[in-house]
Amino acid sequence: MFVPFIRGAGVSFAMIKSDLKTQRDVLSNYASAAPYPTVFVHGAGENNLLWKKTLERLSGSSQAFAVNLPGHPSGEITCKSVPEYSQAVLEFIQQKGIRSPVVAGHSMGSAVAITLAIEHPEVVRGLVVVSGGAKLGVERTVLEGLRSQAMKTIENLITPMSFYAVDLSIGKEARSSLSTSNLQVFLNDYLACAAFDERQRLERIRARTLVVCGDADRMTPPKWAHYLQSNIEGAELRFIRDAGHMLPIEKPDLLAGMIQAFLEGFSR
pLDDT score of 23: 32
Q: Does residue 87 lie in a domain region? A: yes
Q: Does residue 182 lie in a domain region? A: yes
Q: Does residue 6 lie in a domain region? A: no
Range of the domain at 180: 13-264
pLDDT score of 168: 60
| Residues lower than pLDDT 50 in the chain | 1-26
pLDDT score of 179: 83
Query: What number of H helices and E strands is found in the chain?
Result: 11, 8
pLDDT score of 160: 87
Q: Does residue 244 lie in a domain region? A: yes
What CATH number is associated with residue 54? 3.40.50.1820
pLDDT score of 172: 73
pLDDT score of 181: 86
Q: Does residue 155 lie in a domain region? A: yes
* Sequential DSSP letters for 33-70: EESS-EEEE--TTB-GGGGHHHHHT--SSEEEEEEPPT
Q: Does residue 8 lie in a domain region? A: no
Q: Does residue 225 lie in a domain region? A: yes
How many domains would you assign to the chain?
Answer: 1
Separation CA 71–CA 76 (nearest Å): 5
pLDDT score of 200: 97
Q: Under a CB-based contact definition with an 8 Å cutoff, are residues 235 and 210 in contact?
A: yes
pLDDT score of 152: 94
pLDDT score of 2: 24
pLDDT score of 142: 95
pLDDT score of 12: 27
Q: What is the pTM of this model?
A: 0.88
pLDDT score of 44: 97
